[in-house]
C-alpha cells in the first residue's frame, strides 16, 4: 500500500479474489479474539506488544485511520497509474471503491487489523494493514505496510514484518502473502531478505502507435 511516501511498502493488494472473511495474524504472544473467531477492534483494546528494535504494534485510533485511508487511496491510485493498470482520471475513484469494499466497516471490519507501529523514542514510525485468514484461505495477507521515510534504516521494517508473521502463526495461518508493484526494488529486497518468495508474475504490454 512509494515516491515521497512511506517507506518499505509495495502496494500489496492481491489480484486474486479476496477470501470471504479473513481471520488471523499479528506478532508476539498476544491473542486477538478467541480461537476460531475473527477478532474485532473491541478485542484489540489495550493491545500493545513489544517487538525487536523496541517496536510496538497497537490499533489505529479513529483519527489515524482517517489519515491512513486517505493516504492509502491516494498512493494505491498512483501505484496503479504508474503500473499502467488504471487511467489517471479514474484512479482515485477506483482505489476508493476497492478500499471501501475491503473495509466496509472501516477500521472495525472483522478480520482486518489496522495497526500503528511505534517506539518510545520516536513515537509512531509506520503502520500495517493485515487481513486475517478465513475459513476458505489459510494465508494471511498484508494489504499495506509502511515505515516513515525519516525512520528508514533502523530495522523497523523488518521488525514490523516479523510481528505480522508471528501474529499469523498465532492465529493458525500457514502462510502470509503480499504483492509488490514492479519497480519497487527496495521493498522487494526487504521482503526477499525476510523469506518471501516469488509465487506469480503479472505482465502487461502496451499496444498502439505510442507503445
- What range does the domain containing 45 cover? 41-193
Q: Cα dist. 49→102, 145, 156 in Å?
A: 26, 17, 14
In a domain, 202, yes or no: no
In a domain, 204, yes or no: no
In a domain, 32, yes or no: no
Mean pLDDT of the 51-73 span: 86
In a domain, 150, yes or no: yes
Would you state the pLDDT for residue 209?
81
Residue linked to cell 488504471: 86
Kindly provide the b/e burial profile for residues 120-148, where b requires at least 16 CB atoms within 10 angstroms of the residue's own CB: eebeebbbbbbbbbbeebebbbbbbbbbb
pLDDT classification of 126: cutoffs 50, 70, 90: very high
In a domain, 122, yes or no: yes
Would you state the pLDDT for residue 25?
30
Grid cell for residue 166: 508471528
In a domain, 26, yes or no: no
pLDDT digits (tens, 9 = 90+) for 145-161: 999 999 988 888 888 99
Non-local (6+) Cβ contacts of 186 within 8 A are: 7, 8
We report the CATH number of the domain holding residue 66 as 3.40.630.30
Task: Quote the number of domains for the chain.
Answer: 1
Mean pLDDT of the 112-136 span: 85
In a domain, 1, yes or no: no
In a domain, 4, yes or no: no
pLDDT digits (tens, 9 = 90+) for 16-58: 333 333 333 333 322 222 233 334 444 444 334 444 447 888 8
Amino acid at each position: 500500500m512509494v515516491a515521497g511516501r512511506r517507506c518499505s511498502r509495495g502496494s500489496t493488494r492481491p489480484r486474486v479474489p479476496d477470501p470471504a472473511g479473513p481471520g488471523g495474524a499479528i506478532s508476539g504472544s498476544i491473542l486477538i479474539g478467541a480461537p476460531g473467531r475473527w477478532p474485532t477492534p473491541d478485542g484489540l483494546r489495550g493491545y500493545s506488544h513489544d517487538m525487536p528494535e523496541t517496536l510496538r504494534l497497537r490499533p489505529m485510533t479513529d483519527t489515524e485511520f482517517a489519515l491512513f485511508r486517505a493516504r492509502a487511496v491516494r498512493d494505491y491510485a498512483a501505484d496503479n497509474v504508474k503500473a499502467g493498470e488504471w487511467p489517471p482520471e479514474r484512479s482515485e475513484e477506483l482505489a476508493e471503491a476497492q478500499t471501501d469494499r475491503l473495509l466496509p466497516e472501516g477500521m472495525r471490519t472483522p478480520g482486518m487489523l489496522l495497526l500503528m507501529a511505534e517506539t518510545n523514542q520516536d513515537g509512531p514510525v509506520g503502520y500495517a494493514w493485515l487481513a486475517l485468514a478465513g475459513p476458505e484461505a489459510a494465508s494471511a495477507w498484508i494489504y499495506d505496510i509502511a515505515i516513515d521515510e525519516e525512520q528508514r534504516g533502523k530495522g523497523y521494517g523488518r521488525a514490523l514484518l516479523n510481528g505480522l508473521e508471528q501474529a499469523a502463526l498465532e492465529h493458525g495461518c500457514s502462510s502470509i502473502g503480499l504483492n509488490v508493484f514492479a519497480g519497487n526494488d527496495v521493498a522487494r529486497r526487504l521482503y526477499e531478505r525476510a523469506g518471501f518468495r516469488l509465487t506469480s508474475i503479472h505482465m502487461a504490454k502496451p499496444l498502439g502507435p505510442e507503445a
